[in-house]
Homo-oligomer: A and B are copies of this chain.
Amino acid sequence: MSKDTLTNIQNQLVEFSKARDWEKYHSPKNLSMALSVEVAELVEHFQWLTEEESRNINGQKLNEVKEEVADVLLYLLQICNQLNIDPVDAAKQKLLKNAVKYPPR
């Protein structure tokens, strides 16, 4: 992964929305709904599988899951764009907080 990759993707998403005049739809409220829909499409792949089966998906199923993961990430980054949130910074801060909240055994 090259430097600033997520930032590049975030910038591409801004251009993508502008070129299609979609910015008016992309309130954080609406984007959070779209995010939840994409997560459900990921959940749908796993709902009738055993946990063990879910650890061993491959082929076409894995490709479809990969695509849903992408959709989730893309909507999450658009929420970050709208609210000026740095996702990596947010994740790092949360990791530190979790390390305190859940001490290792």
Contact = CB atoms under 8 A, between A and B. Distances in A.
Nearest to A77: B91
A93 to B, nearest CB: 7
A88 B27 contact: no
Interface residues of A, number: 74
Question: How many copies of this chain?
Answer: 4
Contacts of A20: 102, 104-105
Interface of A: 1-7, 9, 12-13, 16, 19-21, 25, 27-30, 32-37, 39-52, 54-55, 57, 62, 65-67, 69-74, 76-77, 79-80, 82-83, 85-88, 90-95, 97-99, 102, 104-105
Given A32-B54, A76-B76, 12 more contacts: A1-B3, A2-B3, A9-B88, A9-B92, A29-B50, A29-B54, A35-B39, A37-B44, A62-B85, A67-B90, A67-B97, A71-B94
